[in-house]
């Protein structure tokens, strides 16, 4: 049995959290590969080390002095290293990151680089973790590669990292970064250590990818909207993809792809409650979900562009021309429910507002519609669940619950996989709608 364990920033925010994480690793001999994040927030209002590093880069790019901010960053690591009482095995002296901080100072004062700066958060935390556990340290820059377009080169990474891990008894690999095609450090998007963990699990052919964070897995609904929602025991990759796309954020959206490739399950666990089972994310399962729906997630601030044209259905190429208008303006499309003489294109308000009139005139030029209506302040809510398939009455229950809560439904879209139903409501009804759907499927079933 081989496990890859990734710890999030809050799980490694200070010496006490570090000790918990190390205790978890030591408690199970199969936890041999470790991916740390950078130290996160220790309390409300605290600043994550990654944010301090971005700030340091901004200051350095302006040619101003970085001593103060670098001192603050250094203090975070000193607290951890000293708090853990780590000694240098050869000298017996306290473990020191002096040389590392000097390298960072020189680099940032001579040729500052944003990604390099940000990556130091996980790099330094991993040096400490490796030393504390007595594990091998592998620099992610040597084993994770991006191509010329800045996209992860999955196969090269898998080959190189796979080879390296074959001979490793154990190892610590920093999350969040790798090597760009120009040889410089390149980071993933924020929260990207989740992706590193997944890449490592694939390369190591691990049995499980454990992702340790500060919550006991996924909840059926966002706890900021529904009070103490039920947790999800098991969720499939596809369900999770739908939910995370719609805003459920525990795991980075892209983190499922490397492990999905190998069918490796992900187990989301809570560092502060290690006895909780957490949520299992799996390829497929015959385990019945607790409720008909697995989860509800949603996002606010969409616009719908409604294009009307009589006999649209018999005009070949009409939809393509409309979509071309959005493509020309560089706007990505979220949903496209259609009627007989209308098609609706749902887009992000923030992306669309500036280009609104440009898109409207492009649609007129390319597709010659009768009219175009635009509506803003739309919220989309995805109701996701493998249990909905072939289950009669699910949609009926959703709409009855919404009607009962006096929420007007402005749009409906059911995926053909029967895995999700998306409803559009007004922004102001967003929370009420989620609570109503949660109640009908969960509260009334407990």
Residues lying near ligand ASP in the complex (CB under 6 A): 9, 37-38, 48, 50, 121, 175-176, 190-194
Q: Which residues pair with 375 in a beta bridge?
A: 304
Q: What's the closest the beta carbon of residue 194 comes to ligand ASP, in angstroms?
A: 6
Selection from 127, 164, 19, 84 nearest residue 119 by Cα: 127
Own/partner contacts of 60-69, CB < 8 Å, gap of 24 or more, are 60/108, 60/109, 60/112, 60/117, 61/112, 61/114, 66/105, 66/108, 66/109
The token duo for 365 is 């030029």
Nearer to ligand ASP, 189 or 287 (CB): 189
Q: What's the closest the beta carbon of residue 249 comes to ligand ASP, in angstroms?
A: 12
Nearer to ligand ASP, 117 or 362 (CB): 117
* 145 within 8 A of 73, measured Cβ to Cβ: no
Nearer to ligand ASP, 191 or 385 (CB): 191
Nearer to ligand ASP, 202 or 435 (CB): 202
In the complex, which residue's CB is closest to ligand ASP? 193
Task: For the beta carbon of residue 115, count every other beta carbon within 10 angstroms.
Answer: 16
Residue with tokens 């402005």: 410
Nearer to ligand ASP, 10 or 344 (CB): 10
**Cα–Cα distance measured from residue 446 to residue 439, given in angstroms and rounded to the nearest whole number:** 10
Nearer to ligand ASP, 121 or 385 (CB): 121
Q: What is the dihedral of CA 332, 352, 147, 151, to 10 degrees?
A: -60
Nearer to ligand ASP, 37 or 344 (CB): 37
**Cα–Cα distance measured from residue 197 to residue 255, given in angstroms and rounded to the nearest whole number:** 8
Q: What's the closest the beta carbon of residue 48 comes to ligand ASP, in angstroms?
A: 5
Q: What's the closest the beta carbon of residue 91 comes to ligand ASP, in angstroms?
A: 31
Q: What's the closest the beta carbon of residue 47 comes to ligand ASP, in angstroms?
A: 11
**Cα–Cα distance measured from residue 392 to residue 408, given in angstroms and rounded to the nearest whole number:** 23
Q: What's the closest the beta carbon of residue 187 comes to ligand ASP, in angstroms?
A: 8
Q: What's the closest the beta carbon of residue 193 comes to ligand ASP, in angstroms?
A: 3
**Cα–Cα distance measured from residue 235 to residue 289, given in angstroms and rounded to the nearest whole number:** 8
């Amino acid at each position: 049995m081989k496990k890859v364990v990734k710890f999030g920033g809050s799980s490694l925010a200070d010496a006490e959290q570090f000790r918990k994480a190390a205790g978890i690793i030591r408690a199970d001999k199969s936890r041999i590969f470790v991916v740390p994040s950078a130290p996160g927030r220790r309390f409300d209002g605290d600043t994550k080390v990654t944010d301090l590093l971005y700030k340091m880069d901004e200051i350095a790019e302006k040619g101003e002095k970085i001593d103060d901010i670098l001192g603050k960053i250094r203090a975070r690591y000193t607290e951890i290293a000293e708090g853990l009482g780590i000694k240098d095995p050869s000298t017996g002296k306290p473990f020191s990151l002096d040389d590392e901080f000097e390298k960072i100072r020189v680099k940032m004062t001579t040729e500052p680089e944003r990604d390099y700066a940000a990556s130091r958060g996980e790099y330094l935390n991993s040096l400490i973790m490796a030393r504390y556990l007595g594990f091998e340290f592998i620099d992610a820059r040597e084993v994770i590669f991006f191509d010329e377009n800045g996209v992860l080169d999955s196969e090269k990474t898998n080959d190189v990292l796979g080879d390296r891990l074959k001979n490793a008894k154990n190892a610590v690999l920093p999350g969040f970064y790798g090597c760009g095609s120009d040889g410089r450090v390149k980071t993933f998007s924020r929260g990207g250590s989740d992706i590193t963990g997944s890449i490592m699990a694939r390369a190591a052919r691990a049995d499980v990818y454990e992702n340790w964070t500060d919550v006991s897995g996924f909840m059926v609904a966002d706890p900021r909207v529904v009070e103490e929602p039920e947790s999800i025991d098991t969720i499939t990759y596809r369900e999770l993809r739908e939910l995370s796309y719609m805003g459920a954020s525990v795991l980075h959206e892209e983190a499922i792809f490397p492990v999905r490739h190998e069918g490796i399950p992900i187990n989301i666990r809570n560092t502060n409650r290690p006895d909780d089972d957490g949520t299992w994310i799996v390829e497929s399962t015959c385990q019945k979900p607790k409720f008909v729906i697995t989860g509800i997630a949603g996002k606010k601030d969409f616009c719908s562009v409604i294009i009307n044209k009589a006999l649209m259905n018999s005009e070949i190429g009409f939809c393509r021309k409309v979509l071309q208008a959005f493509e020309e303006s560089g706007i990505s499309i979220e949903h496209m429910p259609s009627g007989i003489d209308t098609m609706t294109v749902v887009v992000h308000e923030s992306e669309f507002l500036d280009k609104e009139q440009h898109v409207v005139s492009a649609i007129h030029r390319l597709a010659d519609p009768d009219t175009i209506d635009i509506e803003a302040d739309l919220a989309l809510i995805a109701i996701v669940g493998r249990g909905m398939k072939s289950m009669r009455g699910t949609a009926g229950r959703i709409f009855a619950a919404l009607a009962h809560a006096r929420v007007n439904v402005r749009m409906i879209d059911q995926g053909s996989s029967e895995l999700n139903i998306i409803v559009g409501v007004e922004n102001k009804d967003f929370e009420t709608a989620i609570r109503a759907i949660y109640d009908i499927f969960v509260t009334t079933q407990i």
